[in-house]
Amino acid sequence: MSDETTPANGLSGARVVVTGGTRGIGAATARRLAEAGAEVVVAARTAPTSPEPGPGRFLAADIASPGGVATLARQALDLLGGVDVLVSNAGGQTHRPEGVLSFTDEDWQHDLDLNLLSAVRLDRALLPAMIAQGRGGAIVHVGSNAARLPRPASLPYTAAKAALTAYSKGLAKEVGRHGIRVNVVLPGLIRTESLDSRMAALAGQAGTDPETVLDRTVAAMDIPLDRAGTAGEVAELIAFLVSPAAGYLTGSQFTVDGGVLPTL
Ligand SMILES: NC(=O)c1ccc[n+]([C@@H]2O[C@H](COP(=O)([O-])OP(=O)(O)OC[C@H]3O[C@@H](n4cnc5c(N)ncnc54)[C@H](OP(=O)(O)O)[C@@H]3O)[C@@H](O)[C@H]2O)c1
């Protein structure tokens, strides 16, 4: 994807893979990129159930496993004929209110596989072809502002996302000379299906309703904009970062959290 092959601020003809592209931030990103003219493949474990056609072609893959990533990479390259943009978005957390010492090796391995190694493995599988085609390209890894605000009850997730940020910087240094840019997006509290089900579970325990729990969460997090963000607001940032308009941005982290993270 170079300035010569894509119109300014557009992604016409760009071949895109979005992991976790069936719900939440990933689905909003896939929609936004398809609207910008990209050819999009979305990957997740389960096919979308909506009768509406999705924004891209669906590939079933469990990206927490090395085999799932290898299959996804092979199928995406076959379907698209190459990849210009990769959005490694799928992620999730093991939550243990009992605290840090209650996480097992399996918990740690699961959160590292899903939130760090999935992106590492997918980059490793797709980058040789991206480099060989000589058109440049863009990669966005979706991290979390939690990487800089560790919470004991989800520490493996937090640690994996922090490692993802460090990994992304090193990768950006290595592939920059091929015109491939790598950036990390750090969302804060974003209204998605997964957040809604977490709010519903907490509401059940507290004997209240999910909206009240969400309001309390926003207040407890002291979010300067005083609300949760939307998946569309994160998608907008990702769409900018993978577009030619962001041509001199690489090795950077971009927070979209309503102003929560401190400056340093
Ligand atoms: N929402 C927030 O408040 C928030 C805040 C900070 C960071 N983030 C990060 O933003 C990203 C997206 O979050 P979200 O809230 O939009 O998530 P979500 O609504 O839970 O959607 C997750 C997506 O990832 C897919 N997925 C999950 N596990 C997978 C696996 N093993 N293999 C393949 N696909 C998998 C899901 O589909 P299947 O279940 O069918 O596989 C779904 O498409 C994550 O990396 C998350 O850590 C979110």
Which residue's CA lies nearest to atom 7 of ligand 1? 144
Is the minimum distance from the CB of 72 to ligand 1 under 6 angstroms? no
| Contacting residues for 133 by C-beta, under 8 A, at least 6 apart | 82
**Residue 54: what pLDDT?**
82
| Distance from C-alpha of 221 to C-alpha of 188, rounded to nearest angstrom | 10
Q: Are residues 61 and 40 in the same domain?
A: yes
Residue 155 Cα to ligand 1 middle (Å) = 17
Catalytic-role residue among 157, 163, 241, 256: 157
Q: What is the pTM of this model?
A: 0.96
- Is residue 164 within 8 A of residue 119, CB to CB? The reply is yes
**Residue 7: what pLDDT?**
37
Q: Are residues 213 and 114 in the same domain?
A: no
Q: Are residues 200 and 112 in the same domain?
A: no
What's the domain range around 126? 15-189+230-256
Q: Are residues 208 and 85 in the same domain?
A: no
Over the stretch 134-178, which tens digit does the pLDDT of each residue have? 999 999 999 999 999 999 999 999 999 999 999 999 999 999 999
Q: Are residues 143 and 24 in the same domain?
A: yes
Q: Are residues 90 and 196 in the same domain?
A: no
The answer to the question of residue 2 being in a domain is no
Residue 213 Cα to ligand 1 middle (Å) = 21
Which residues, given as ranges, of the chain have pLDDT below 50?
2-9
**Residue 108: what pLDDT?**
98
Is the minimum distance from the CB of 91 to ligand 1 under 6 angstroms? yes
| Distance from C-alpha of 19 to C-alpha of 118, rounded to nearest angstrom | 10
Domain containing 176 — which CATH number? 3.40.50.720
The answer to the question of residue 158 being in a domain is yes
Residue 262 Cα to ligand 1 middle (Å) = 25
**Residue 6: what pLDDT?**
39
Number of domains in the chain: 2
Q: Determine whether 157 is an active site residue.
A: yes
The answer to the question of residue 264 being in a domain is no
Pocket test for ligand 1, best of 32, 144, 217, 234 (most atoms within 8 A of CB): 144
**Residue 26: what pLDDT?**
98
Is the minimum distance from the CB of 192 to ligand 1 under 6 angstroms? yes
- Is residue 99 within 8 A of residue 86, CB to CB? The reply is no
**Residue 8: what pLDDT?**
37
Q: Are residues 154 and 206 in the same domain?
A: no
The answer to the question of residue 151 being in a domain is yes
The answer to the question of residue 263 being in a domain is no
Q: Are residues 34 and 120 in the same domain?
A: yes
Q: Are residues 126 and 210 in the same domain?
A: no
Q: Helices marked H in the chain — which ranges?
A: 24-35, 66-80, 105-112, 118-133, 155-175, 193-206, 210-221, 231-241
The answer to the question of residue 180 being in a domain is yes
Q: Are residues 54 and 150 in the same domain?
A: yes
The answer to the question of residue 10 being in a domain is no
**Residue 2: what pLDDT?**
47
Q: Are residues 182 and 196 in the same domain?
A: no
Which residue's CA lies nearest to atom 2 of ligand 1? 190
The answer to the question of residue 248 being in a domain is yes
Q: Are residues 212 and 245 in the same domain?
A: no
